[in-house]
Chain A
Amino acid sequence: MTQFFNYAVPGIPFGCVFALMAVGLVLTYKASGVFNLAFGAQAFVSALAYVSLIEDGWPRWAAGVLAVFVLGPVVGVLLDRLLFRRIRTASPLVKLVPSLGLLVALPQLALIIAGSTPDIPPPALFVNAQRVYLHLGSVPLSGLELSITGSTVLVVAVLVALFRFTPVGLEMRAVVESPRMTELAGVNAGRISAFAWILSSVMAALAGVLLAPLYSQLDPQNFTVLLVWGIAGAVIGRFSSLPLALLGGLFLGVAQQIVAGYLPAGIIATGLRPSLPFVVLLIFLPFTRQRQFDDPLAGCDPPSATVETETLGYRSATTLAGAGEDDVHAVGLWHRRLGLEGPDAWWYRFVRRPTSTLAWVLAALAVLSALTWVPADWLLTMTQGIAFGVIFLSLTVLTGMSGQISLCQATFAGLGGFAAGQLADHFGLPVVIGMVAGGLLAAALGVIVAVPTLRLAGLPLALATLAFALLADNILFPNSWVGNGASGVIVPRPSAGPVNLSASKPFFLLSLAILSVTAGIVKLIGDGTMGRFLAAMRGSELAASSVGIDVYRLRVVVFAISAGLAGVGGALFGSLEGSLSPTDFNYQISTVLLVVVAIVGLGSISGAVVAGLVYTTLQVAVTTLPSRYAGLVAVLFGLATLSYTRHPEGFLDYLGNRTLTFIARNGAMSRLMGRSGTGGRGQPPRNEGAGNPDGDVLVPTPAPGGAT
């Protein structure tokens, strides 16, 4: 019992640390309706400012006040204005991607601004961190531990009081459900929303400044790990209860100490501790009621951008409206009049088909160049891009087609790579066969991930897969028979057999062949029955199962296919590089992968390929800059998520639509000019019953008499 006590007590400060994170996440979720994963990044930014200022000679209190009460709110207001206010009612993916992007980008941006990581160890805010102030039993409690515990209790008490007893607490909850209805009650919803973000950002900043002294050096990674523990605590609090989140964090802190204390040392014990969040998430996620009520006044918004892009012609109709047509009537009417519909329409003959032909010609030219004049390092980058293109295809299937969100694709890729390398090493298996085997093994892992998470969707699924990636990083990859820890695994280039593929050009061709095969598989899936099923499931799992689709089986299958594709891509990348270590495909890479492909375009195969090329090219480009800008790629992609929220169809489709609309407008306008009589300004077109694509669309006819 004493021993238990001795293990448990040191866990309490850890628990408070986790609790601080968990409470912050729950607070943001309650007050703004967004599960803000950038919370960890906000904490890091304030901690960095705090330590940097002290390094510059500021007194600790002044640095603390500035970091917590000035920088924190500023970041919060900016996030609210620029981003989160606009995505409150968006789909889970559109909500998740920006906060993931910011989680990666904000710390790197702060590091670029600060110039360098501070050299001094972070000092504690108002106590001597190391001094032991009192003993609980035989357990010494240092100033740092006491201050963290005390602040956590204080913060939670203040927050609970705020929500229970003040008007603003009630108003925040009302705004989360429906800002418009709150305004109808006379409340300024914009101000309440800004206040909520200031509150949660101050909390993030406070957490950062309090927790910084835990580490000898500031590192964004530490805060991300804390964030994962915080997520587990928030899930115990069912995303909604501040006191339960506090208890959840405390429980996790104590539990991880006990686990570490009782179990014998070794890879399982050291691995089990970091995997606790995963276990907790798996147990508790199914019980989180996401009591998110729809905004009853959502109908006041114009039709959403995703609906908009379903019909290309909608855009041209919109543009035409801007171009001077007074009344834009039904979309279908315009379509027919402008000849936008049908495969024989001028639109397809003169715009779409040439565009796609041009894309193919460019691709062929790129391949030809690669094989002839392109320098070796460029060729390497292109081949890397192709390998990542294969990995990104796995997300095209999983997220683009079936709407599932996975934050463990890098884990699948890593497993595929390690398997190919290990099989070649131990059994002398040719590496090309090893790639297939790696893909199959990754597919099996995909099934293992899919089955326990079958009932999860959206945010909970994303969190569970994130925790799984962390689990794999800690207890799967360090093993000598998998990822072999820091030293990694040698993955040879394919050299056996009649054709030697190890030189860079033949390997490029091999990569191209693998990309073609995988892309072909993805296209077959997308165009076939399964693609229709997946699209149905993406729309609504309930509706899909009501027409006889076995949704659970489909989910397992699509996870397996996606994981298999990622595995093949990972093996290809490993073989290209010659070796693979667990850090090449850790959980952070998983989040980056999702962000990158979402920005470029999840909806198409070309989106995945372009994402791969852009991702690797930018990473090479950034190495030519001074080391201070090492994080620039992360910053770029992080900031690109800001525009992603406006164009969830992805950059590629957006660009395409813009171009096509531009051509269409000019073409359509000249066609209109050519026709006399029809489409004149202010003259309503005949109501051909082309009707209402949407129930609310009005097709005006000349008003019957009697209008006053």
Chain B
Amino acid sequence: MSGPPLLELEGVSASYGPYRALFDVSLSVGAGSALALVGVNGAGKSTVARVVSGLVPVTSGRIRFDGVDITRRPAYEIARMGLTHVTEGRSVFSSLTVEENLTLSFRQALGRREVPAALERAYGAFPRLGQRRAQSAGTLSGGEQRMLALARVLVVRQKLLVVDELSFGLAPVMVDEVYAALGQVLSAGTSLLIIEQHVDRALHFADAVVVLSKGRVVYDGTVEGAESRLSELVLGRVEQ
């Protein structure tokens, strides 16, 4: 982790109406590194992701990405700057076909000319998607939908990829595949912010860890430092 961090949150708070979800969250993702964000349900992990990508407005604090203050930028501008957020749950357009889903992303990121080549690369990486290109994405299985979401971001080079519970509900084999793909992304130079329920999985993968509890950061540091007292940090109790 050398040089200035790619993504930096400074004292960020956010709320849904009157329900406050984040309290003074500060964290940073270094260029070319992977940060794991862990915590129990409702700890505010997804809200961090949403705040970063501009889906949820911050109430106070600042967010910098790639040297630019993006605190109150609209989501589409942040996306165009090279920050991709793969949301939790269904993150593809059910009403569009597989090919239309891919085209929508590729056209925006690469320009219209590059779309056919990008489609070929996506189908090369995920032959299943090629077989189902004319099928509407809502009819895909959960794993296939996750593949589609990954294909959208794997083909286009990003500066930062925010993945929210990408492996949730997948078969172990698929989880391996997902992490292999994330490894590729990382080695290609893209930074990662990974939100995971499979804590050990994420920890093995990441360079650093931030633990959230009830909307606050309770740990920010190395993986090794976190591992020994993980259950205390995450679950908020001291193991006997």
Q: Which residues of A contact B (CB under 8 A)?
A: 167, 170-171, 173-174, 176-178, 180-190, 291, 293, 296-297, 300-303, 308, 314, 317-318, 321, 327-328, 692, 694-701, 703-704, 706-708
Contact = CB atoms under 8 A, between A and B. Distances in A.
A183 B213 contact: no
A27 to B, nearest CB: 16
A284 B214 CA distance: 51
Contacts of A184: 53, 55, 75-76, 79, 84-85, 87
7 contacts: A185-B79, A185-B105, A185-B108, A187-B76, A296-B90, A699-B214, A701-B214
B19 A697 contact: yes
A706 B80 CA distance: 36
Given A186-B76, A186-B80, A328-B20, A167 B107 contact: yes
Interface in B97-131: 100, 103-105, 107-109, 112
B19 A694 contact: yes
B82 to A, nearest CB: 10
A461 to B, nearest CB: 23
Given A170-B104, A698-B215, A181 B109 contact: no
A287 B75 CA distance: 38
A190 B233 CA distance: 41
A307 to B, nearest CB: 10
A531 B56 CA distance: 38
A698 B42 contact: yes
Contacts of B16: 300-303, 696
Nearest to B26: A708
Contacts of B56: 300
B179 interface: no
Contacts of B23: 327, 700
Contacts of B108: 185-187
A167 B112 contact: yes
Given A173-B96, A174-B96, A180-B75, A318 B218 contact: no
Contact of B17 (A180, A183, A302, A699): A302
A189 B100 CA distance: 17
A327 to B, nearest CB: 6
Contacts of A293: 94-95, 138
A706 B219 CA distance: 6
Nearest to B152: A185
Contacts of B218: 703-704, 706-707
Given A698-B214, A707-B217, A188 B96 contact: no
Interface of B: 16-21, 23, 26, 41-42, 44, 50, 53-56, 74-76, 79-80, 84-85, 87, 89-91, 93-96, 100, 103-105, 107-109, 112, 138, 152, 213-221, 233, 236
B208 to A, nearest CB: 12
A291 B233 CA distance: 44
Contact of B87 (A188, A296, A303): A296
A171 B79 CA distance: 15
A178 B19 contact: no
Nearest to A699: B214
Nearest to B233: A706
Given A183-B76, A184-B84, A696 B21 contact: yes
A695 B42 CA distance: 7
Contact of A177 (B18, B84, B95, B220): B95
A167 B109 CA distance: 13
Nearest to A697: B19
B28 to A, nearest CB: 11
Residue among B21, B53, B94, B104 with the highest chain A CB neighbour number at 10 A: B104
B95 A291 contact: yes
B106 to A, nearest CB: 9
Nearest to A328: B18
Nearest to B236: A704
A696 B18 CA distance: 11
A228 B189 CA distance: 58
Residue among A302, A699, A704 with the highest chain B CB neighbour number at 10 A: A704
B75 A296 contact: no
A181 B84 contact: no
Given A703-B213, A708-B220, A698 B94 contact: no
A296 B89 contact: yes
A188 B41 CA distance: 31
B142 to A, nearest CB: 13
Contacts, number: 136
Given A302-B17, A302-B19, A328-B20, 8 more contacts: A170-B103, A174-B104, A183-B74, A185-B76, A185-B108, A296-B90, A300-B55, A692-B42
A696 B42 contact: yes
A321 B20 CA distance: 11
A328 to B, nearest CB: 5
Nearest to A167: B107
Contacts of A308: 17
Given A167-B112, A303-B17, A698-B215, A183 B79 contact: yes
A291 B95 CA distance: 8
A314 B16 CA distance: 13
B93 A174 contact: yes
Contacts of B100: 170, 173
A186 B79 contact: yes
Nearest to A292: B95
Nearest to A705: B218
A166 to B, nearest CB: 10
Nearest to A192: B76
Contacts of B80: 186
Nearest to A695: B42
Contacts of B91: 181, 296
A692 B152 CA distance: 37
Given A291-B95, A300-B55, A703-B213, A189 B76 contact: yes
Contacts of A296: 87, 89-91
Closest 7 CB pairs of A and B: A302-B17, A183-B75, A186-B108, A186-B79, A293-B94, A183-B76, A296-B90
Residue among B19, B20, B100, B219 with the highest chain A CB neighbour number at 10 A: B19
B75 A321 contact: no
Residue among A317, A328, A698 with the highest chain B CB neighbour number at 10 A: A698
A297 B20 CA distance: 18
B44 to A, nearest CB: 7
Contacts of B215: 698, 700
Contacts of B85: 184
Nearest to A694: B19
Contacts of A317: 18
Nearest to A702: B216
Contacts of B21: 696, 698
B20 to A, nearest CB: 6
A301 B104 CA distance: 24
Contact of A188 (B20, B76, B89): B76
A300 B88 CA distance: 12
A111 to B, nearest CB: 39
B95 A297 contact: no
Contacts of A178: 93
Nearest to B54: A183
B217 A708 contact: yes
B216 A703 contact: yes
Contacts of B55: 180, 183-184, 297, 300
Contact of B19 (A174, A187, A188, A303): A303
A454 to B, nearest CB: 27
A188 B214 contact: no
Contact of A300 (B18, B50, B96, B103): B50
A300 B96 CA distance: 22
A291 B87 CA distance: 22
Residue among B50, B76, B94, B221 with the highest chain A CB neighbour number at 10 A: B76
B214 A187 contact: no
Nearest to B21: A698
A573 to B, nearest CB: 43
B57 to A, nearest CB: 10
B56 to A, nearest CB: 5
Given A184-B75, A296-B87, A698-B214, A171 B104 contact: yes
